[in-house]
Amino acid sequence: MSKYYLFQDAKNCIGCHSCEVVCKSNKDLPLGPRICQILTIGPRIVDNVPKAAYVFMPCFHCEDPWCVAACPTGAMQKRAKDGIVFVDHDLCVGCKTCMSACPWGAPQWNPEIGKVVKCDYCKDRIDEGLKPACVTICTTHCLHFGTTDEIPPLRRERYAKAMASLE
Amino acid sequence: MDKGTCPVANNVRALAGLLAEGRIPVARSRQWAEDILRLMKDVGSGRGGREHFPAMEALAKRLQWEGENKACVDLGKKLSSELQTHREVFLSHLETRNCPLGDCIELSPAPCQMACPAGIDVSGYVALIGQGQDSEAIDLIRKDNPFPWVCGLVCTHPCEFMCVRGRIDKPIAIKDLKGFAAERAMSEGRYNNPEKAPDNGRKVCIIGAGPAGLTAAYYLALKGYRITIIESLPMAGGMMMVGIPRYRLPREVIDREVAMIEDLGVEFRYNTRFGKEVTIEELRDEGFKAFFVAIGAHASFKMRVPGEDHFAQVLDAIHFLRRVALGDHHTPGKKVAVIGGGNVAMDAARTCIRLGCEEVAVVYRRSRNDMPANPEEVEQAEEEKIRFSFLTVPVAIEGENGRVSALHCLRTELGPEDESGRRRPVPVEGSDFSFDVDAVIPAIGQTVDKAGLEHLGGLEWSRRNTINVDRASMATTADGLFAAGDIVTGPATVVEAIGGGKRAAEAIDRYFEEIPQPKMPSVPARRQRLECLEVPASIKMVLNRPAMQTLGDDRRRVTFQQVELGLSEQSAREEAKRCLRCDICVRCGTCVDVCRNKMGVDALQMGYLNFDNPGHTDFRIAAERCILCGACAANCPTDAMRIEDRDGERVLSICGTILNHLDLEYCQICGAPLGPARYHDFIRKKTEETGLTTGDKHLCMTCARKAAAKAHGETMPPIA
């Protein structure tokens, strides 16, 4: 995995898709590719109330990524310094093997340039000391980005509280 | 700006660069600049219309006058001046959808079309013939050449020398296809004139009813002009009629195509020699405001050897051919020597055979390879048992009792190259020999017969006895006087005269409309982008150029029947399928580079793409190696290489040639097509060491993501 972690606190996500919009606008993407995507699970009836969950699906920046292994041209790479998996457009020829190889459907097709695009945690922004575009825009601040030890232990705290309230 | 690059492409590059760098940061100006860029890209890709140019001009002016800061104003100024400087190039792109430099890659011209002096959209009509649309093909040809049938029989087909298919095996039989379609359309009664513009009352006089004059008449008549053609011969056609023998070009062919022009209301005055029977003053009095001189080159060069002028049996080829064409079928003699190695010499020699001459020898001072005549002509002459005496130069014509008796010759050797790039023949001292002949026909070149034009003031004559004109507009130095054809080029081909006539018609129209004449010669127009004919790679490779069926040798020695019998329908349709559609594929080689050097698949063996060193070509290899990844198609700049899913298969084709097709595999959830097994094997091999993917299901990208999200959602604690 990369040294970063992008954590979504799904409890606070309202499914507004701002992250998707800013991601596309930041990467100047046409109709089609969704580098990150909010997927709606549900609605399901829980205690007679319809409930839905919104799951944020970016790229997971795998430790040993299938996409990098599949790429015949060396365009898909893992950045040495922080493990970000990104695609070099100068090398990508649009064979889509990475898209087929990824179990999570992370690499996307940009029909305008005939090349693959994917989440690179906005590495240019990170290098400037900023956070990824999706995290910056997130309305409810449910997206958190940082090195693994910087991520707030929200779920653990929430679980602990829930346990405590059972008493 | 770099010399030799297209201003449209340059401006697109420069403006796109500027915008990408964010040099126009103000939103309103940026919008204008982006709009200009979009319009310019349309111009450079054939999607533009007549309104594009004024729209770009207006936007550039807005930038210039209303720009918020210096950068915007400067950009507006620069674009305005670029548009003004290169106005003609931009308009030419819009009108012809053709970028002669090929910088606007989607508008790269096909080599065949660029080689054609009349600029016919060859790929287009070949495709139409392939679809069985013969009369549509003729309509398309006649946008650039009103003589598809004549050219289909006698054109020197420079297009075929440039044909890219020739780098694989043999060039497409472009000429023969044209002849086939024209004959078909004519016999089916579907050879029609396009709609004529209403009469505009303007009178133009054309001098000479040859290919140049008739072509100009056709295009001007279509524009509504009143055309009168002055012709010294009793019939129309010029050199097509009296220079080219009937066994190559039947009279009916010329008559029918001339009749189409006559149908447009063109008036012919035969047996009228300009400058003799009628003068320019008389014609001006009749109301003619513009004149087009296209009298051809009907005089012969002299050999300048003793005896040439002493005998009635020495008759230059041009006079001989004209005499025969006008109906005099007397043989010139029993044993005839024809001097020269060009097409006229072949025509004269083969005509002699048909008139009953017992022996015909062609005497040529260089070797066979140096002959300017078409190889087919030479072959057919040999089939008709014409003897060739190469490396022989006549030095005297000998006679007895006032009749020619022998030709005195010297052997030659080829010395160093002259300015034409051919080796100069040098006579060998003492190699004299004579052979018995009773007639000599010199065919060593033609020139213009100026009789009748001497008094035409204001013309500028070249040293070669031709009229100097502006090559873009065919305008002479005299006002309202245009010229084209052999009188401008010197003796040349039918199709060159047609090209000249077409340019002159355009210029004469501009002359009346008072539009400035073009500064550059016109660019051939891409008439339409036709769909490619779909052909499997194996068929594309094994189809052969059809051999032209010819009349039997015996018949050829006694009649003037047409020698070439034309293509059969089946061979014509198949021949059209061999075309590589170079109007779409620009042979940049990107597909091969991507497949071989980037993907490491090496499935495309298309050596013909390399112009300088053509390698081996075999379209069939792709079916063995190609994984159908589509990278070639994704990188093709002109959409020549295509990948499509249809009928359960993924299909790769280049300009309709099907390179590979394999069964698709589908997403196991939504049923979306995923690609063929060979593609998935390729990926599996690469990812083997990374380990198995989660689960063994074949999923599409969307379903994979959904499934992952769902799994993720389910592992999360219940939503409180």
Q: What is the pLDDT of residues B191-223, one digit of tens each?
A: 999 999 999 999 999 999 999 999 999 999 999
Tell me whether A95 touches chain B (CB under 8 Å): yes
Nearest neighbour of B631 by CB, restricted to A93, A101, A159: A93
According to the model, what pLDDT value does residue B4 have?
57
Give the whole-angstrom CA distance, residue B126 versus residue B118: 16
According to the model, what pLDDT value does residue B340 have?
95
Assembly ipTM: 0.89
Give the whole-angstrom CA distance, residue B265 versus residue B227: 8
Of the candidates B298, B309, B304, the one whose C-alpha atom is nearest the C-alpha of residue B450 is B298
According to the model, what pLDDT value does residue B1 have?
37
Tell me whether B630 touches chain A (CB under 8 Å): yes
Q: Give the C-alpha distances (Å, rounded to integers) separating B98 from B4, B11, B111, B421.
A: 16, 17, 12, 32
One-letter amino acid of B499: G
- Does A96 sit within 8 Å of B629, measured CB to CB? yes
Q: Which residues pair with A86 in a beta bridge?
A: A77
Backbone angles phi, psi at B205, to 5 degrees: -105, 130
Tell me whether A100 touches chain B (CB under 8 Å): yes
Q: What is the pLDDT of residues B355-384, one digit of tens each?
A: 999 999 999 999 999 999 999 899 999 999
Give the whole-angstrom CA distance, residue B124 versus residue B113: 10
Give the whole-angstrom CA distance, residue B654 versus residue B588: 13
- Residue B270 Cα to chain centre, angstroms: 32
According to the model, what pLDDT value does residue A167 have?
54
Of the candidates B116, B105, B251, the one whose C-alpha atom is nearest the C-alpha of residue B174 is B116
- Mutation choice for B interface testing from A20, A51, A95 by most B CBs within 10 A: A95
Q: Which residues pair with B206 in a beta bridge?
A: B229, B292
For residue B259, pLDDT beyond 50: yes
Which residue numbers in chain A have pLDDT < 50? none
- Mean pLDDT confidence for B283-290: 95
According to the model, what pLDDT value does residue B208 have?
96
Q: What is the pLDDT of residues B630-663, one digit of tens each?
A: 999 999 999 999 999 999 999 999 999 999 999 9
- Mutation choice for B interface testing from A17, A100, A102, A119 by most B CBs within 10 A: A100
Q: What is the pLDDT of residues B322-356, one digit of tens each?
A: 999 999 999 999 999 999 999 999 999 999 999 99
Tell me whether A64 touches chain B (CB under 8 Å): yes
Give the DSSP H or E segment for B269: strand B267-269
Of the candidates B513, B503, B525, the one whose C-alpha atom is nearest the C-alpha of residue B225 is B513
For residue B594, pLDDT beyond 60: yes
SS3 A130: coil
Give the whole-angstrom CA distance, residue B144 versus residue B498: 9
Residue B693: pLDDT band (50, 70, 90) is low
According to the model, what pLDDT value does residue B149 have?
97
- Mean pLDDT confidence for B94-119: 90
Give the whole-angstrom CA distance, residue A32 versus residue A52: 25
Question: Which long-range contacts link B378-384 to residues 24+ away (Cβ below 8 Å)?
Answer: B378/B346, B380/B350, B380/B550, B380/B563, B381/B346, B381/B349, B381/B350, B383/B550, B383/B553, B383/B556, B384/B350, B384/B353, B384/B553, B384/B556, B384/B557
Contacts of B631 in chain A (CB under 8 A): 93-95
Give the whole-angstrom CA distance, residue B362 versus residue B383: 14
The answer for B 598-617 residues in CB contact with A (under 8 A) is 598-601
Give the whole-angstrom CA distance, residue B158 versus residue B174: 10
SS3 B94: helix
Cα three-residue angle A21-A25-A31, rounded to 5 degrees: 75
- Mean pLDDT confidence for B165-182: 96
State the Rg of chain B over Cα.
31
According to the model, what pLDDT value does residue A42 have?
79
Give the whole-angstrom CA distance, residue B184 versus residue B190: 8
According to the model, what pLDDT value does residue B279 have?
92
CB-CB contact of B338 with B316 (8 Å)? no
Chain mean pLDDT for chain B = 92
Residue B2: pLDDT band (50, 70, 90) is very low
- Does A53 sit within 8 Å of B599, measured CB to CB? no
Shortest distance, CA B92 to any CA of chain A (angstroms): 28
- Mean pLDDT confidence for B81-96: 92
> What percent of chain B is predicted at pLDDT more than 70?
98
According to the model, what pLDDT value does residue B292 have?
97
The Cβ-side half-sphere exposure at A59, using a 13 Å CA radius, reads 34
Cα three-residue angle B416-B418-B424, rounded to 5 degrees: 55
As given in the structure block, the two tokens for residue B83 are 């548009």
Residue B300: pLDDT band (50, 70, 90) is very high
As given in the structure block, the two tokens for residue A68 are 């990098």
Shortest distance, CA B49 to any CA of chain A (angstroms): 23
According to the model, what pLDDT value does residue B3 have?
47
- Mean pLDDT confidence for B577-584: 95
SS3 B350: helix
- Mean pLDDT confidence for B546-550: 94
- Does A46 sit within 8 Å of B719, measured CB to CB? yes
One-letter amino acid of B222: L
Tell me whether A10 touches chain B (CB under 8 Å): yes
Of the candidates B676, B672, B573, B698, the one whose C-alpha atom is nearest the C-alpha of residue B630 is B676
According to the model, what pLDDT value does residue B714 have?
65
Q: Give the C-alpha distances (Å, rounded to integers) separating B56 from B81, B90, B130, B672.
A: 12, 11, 39, 43
Nearest neighbour of B683 by CB, restricted to A41, A97, A107: A97
- Mean pLDDT confidence for B492-518: 94
Give the whole-angstrom CA distance, residue B604 versus residue B589: 10
As given in the structure block, the two tokens for residue A35 are 């580098």
Q: What is the pLDDT of residues B414-439, one digit of tens each?
A: 999 888 788 899 999 999 999 999 99
According to the model, what pLDDT value does residue B611 have?
82
For residue B715, pLDDT beyond 70: no
As given in the structure block, the two tokens for residue B234 are 């009793």
Q: Tell me the Ramachandran region of residue B446: left when phi exceeds 0, alpha when psi lies from -120 to 50, beta otherwise.
A: beta
- Does B719 sit within 8 Å of A162, measured CB to CB? no
